[in-house]
Amino acid sequence: MTGHITCFGEVLLRFATPSHRLMVQCDALDMVVGGAEANVAAGLASLGHAVGMVTRLPASPLGDKARSALAAAGVDTRHVANGPGRMGLYFLESGAGLRPSAITYDRAGSTFAQSAPQDFDFAAALDGARLLHLSGITPALGPGGVALAKAAVRAAQEAGVPICFDGNYRALLWESWDSNPREILNELVSAATVMIGNHRDISLLLGKDFSGDGEDRRREAAEAAFAAFPKLQYIASTARHVVNAAHHRIAARIDAREAAYQTDEVEVTQIVDRIGTGDAFAVGVLHRWLEGADITRMAQAGLAYTVLKHSLPGDMCLIGPGELDAFSASGGDVRR
């Protein structure tokens, strides 16, 4: 497979409480396959791109479930390996009203987390690739995850493949071990052409705060990141205002070295599922970037895909290019 996108990271099973219940109220949970990088892989495949996933799963029915979900979404699984260990899990209590959703991880000792760089054939997976996508979740898993992320980035650099790095900062994971996220993430972001992250992510990377408010602060942060990371060309971010669990206001932004574009806010109401919407934003941005679009269309597509994901249950957004192109912030009647 050539001209493809390679996504690298852990695939998880998500167990969610139905009907916005608390965990203590439930006797059954809804199970879906997810994980940040897998969500991006599935979304890009749904938009017509050739995408391959690089990961490692247990040789078990749960691992088989994850593999089949990727394949069903159109993702190439030839570089999805099996190994000893267990499936990484997370549990979601779905919020409602002013009660936010809550996540509990159960992924320690997973097959992926116990893997070593030599367990993956990065060179083969990246041969002929147009892009490597990975996120800050992999290094947050611990020293082994740091080694995996660095190995993937090094292989992409050796192959001359551009890198998209999504900060995806997960405090619960970083704080579970003696970590130095700033030092680790700086090394990874320095290799990226595209970064998914906002001014708070940049503050973490550079160890500084940014003055001003709104768009001015975001531009100041972007310019600082471009100065610190010479290879970086685009920074994609969202601005989200949470009214309650079912009502958010969202705008999307792309910063390039010489220009920036931020969309107007869109009112997102009757939210079905908030999880995976950041990954959907990355999908829309990368979809247009891979097409050679300008920053305006990149931001608009990122906004559209993330808004559409709020209407879908589960981690993955499997909406195709026709519905993305037809997106209207006002919604509308049934399409016939």
Instruction: Render each residue's pLDDT in the chain as its tens digit; 336 residues.
Output: 668 999 999 999 999 999 889 999 999 999 999 999 999 999 999 999 999 999 999 999 999 999 999 999 999 999 999 999 999 999 999 888 899 899 999 999 999 999 999 999 999 999 999 999 999 999 999 999 999 999 999 999 999 999 999 999 999 899 999 999 999 999 999 999 999 999 999 999 999 999 867 899 999 999 999 999 999 999 999 999 999 999 999 999 999 999 999 999 999 999 999 999 999 999 999 999 999 999 999 999 999 999 999 999 999 999 999 999 998 665 544 454
Helical H segments across 160-276, by residue range: 171-174, 181-189, 199-206, 214-228
153 to each of 39, 56, 135, 182, 189, how far by Cα in Å?
A: 20, 17, 11, 17, 10
Q: Which two tokens stand for residue 315?
A: 């981690």
Q: Which residues contact 65 (CB under 8 A, 6 or more apart)?
A: 13, 31, 33
The pLDDT assigned to 334 comes to: 42
**Annotation says 279 is catalytic:** yes
For residue 318, with 0-12 CB atoms within 10 Å meaning exposed, 13-18 middle and 19 or more buried, which class applies?
A: middle
Q: Which residues contact 72 (CB under 8 A, 6 or more apart)?
A: none
The pLDDT assigned to 328 comes to: 67
The pLDDT assigned to 336 comes to: 46
Q: Of 201, 279, 294, 325, which residue is the catalytic one?
A: 279
- From start to end of 74-123, where are the E strands? 80-83, 89-93, 102-106
φ, ψ for residue 2, nearest 5 deg: -120, 160
The pLDDT assigned to 200 comes to: 93
Q: Which pTM value belongs to this model?
A: 0.95
| Residue in 275, 218, 266 with CA at minimum distance from that of residue 243 | 266
| Residue in 306, 286, 287 with CA at minimum distance from that of residue 239 | 306
Q: Which residues contact 278 (CB under 8 A, 6 or more apart)?
A: 36, 166, 168, 196, 238, 306
Q: Which two tokens stand for residue 311?
A: 């209407």
φ, ψ for residue 83, nearest 5 deg: -165, 175
CA–CA distance, 64 with 59 (Å, rounded to integer):
7
